[in-house]
Amino acid sequence: MVRRKLVVGNWKMNGLRAHLPQVAAIGAEAASHPQVEVGLCVPATLISMAAEARGGAFIGGQDCHAKTSGAHTGCLSAQMLKEAGATWAIVGHSERRADHGETDADVASKALAAHAAGLKVILCVGESLEIRDSGEAVPFVLAQLEASLPEGAAAEWLSIAYEPVWCIGTGRIPTMDQIAEMHSAIRAALIKRLGKDGNAMRILYGGSVNAANAAEVFTVADVDGGLVGGASLKVESFGPIIAAAA
């Protein structure tokens, strides 16, 4: 099955108004590769401005609350993200799970909330170095995936991002065989849970993707694109990754 490649930049806690020209430049690069779906998940303070400058890229949020409103100081609902101009949201990123204690149940609830608000969702799963070295990486990630997938999950609005947590921001990358093993296992689990729709759902790789390794990573079976961190902040480093997916 041919699945359109999806390449998404996660700016994390980076980006001010002065960085909007980079959004525009990345949007222009995205427009030159229409066969690839390209997005930027920017800080909430930039969403509305980035949505105006986005060109051929979509704009997403990096998290949302599971509730639509209420006494949740400092949080943002999915409806708020959408009103600001986001069309996608990341949920379950390893940094949210680790730094904010988010559980699989929390992640599933957030995914449902984002979908209910009309957003598409990237749901993240992945293992720590301790889990990887224990030899339990695949069963750990599959258990996390099973518990994090919301009811009604469908390829139309949900994509999975596999993050080997031990690679994020370190420059380390698993071997292509390790990436293939995990993506194949995730694909099989999705098909078991969702049937044909599990074969249509995109699985992104998200661990230290850069211009030097993207082309090789994107040739691995069941790698349908990438969730890119630091390399997505500038068109000079993100553009070649987009091109590699074309």
Q: Which residues are catalytic?
A: 93, 163
Q: Please report, for residues 67, 88, 105, the alpha-carbon distance to residue 70 in angstroms, rounded to integers and kept in the order given.
A: 7, 22, 20
CA atoms within 13 A on the CB side of 27: 17
Tokens of 91: 């949920």
Would you say 232 and 238 are in contact if contact means Cβ atoms under 8 Å apart? Answer: yes
Would you say 94 and 73 are in contact if contact means Cβ atoms under 8 Å apart? Answer: no
> What distance in Å separates the CA atoms of residue 128 and residue 109, rounded to the nearest whole number?
23
C-alpha 25: how far from chain center:
21
Rounded to the nearest 5 degrees, what angle is found at the Cα of 145, between the Cα atoms of 206 and 177? 50
> What distance in Å separates the CA atoms of residue 56 and residue 125, rounded to the nearest whole number?
27
In which element (H, E) is residue 162 found? Answer: strand 158-162
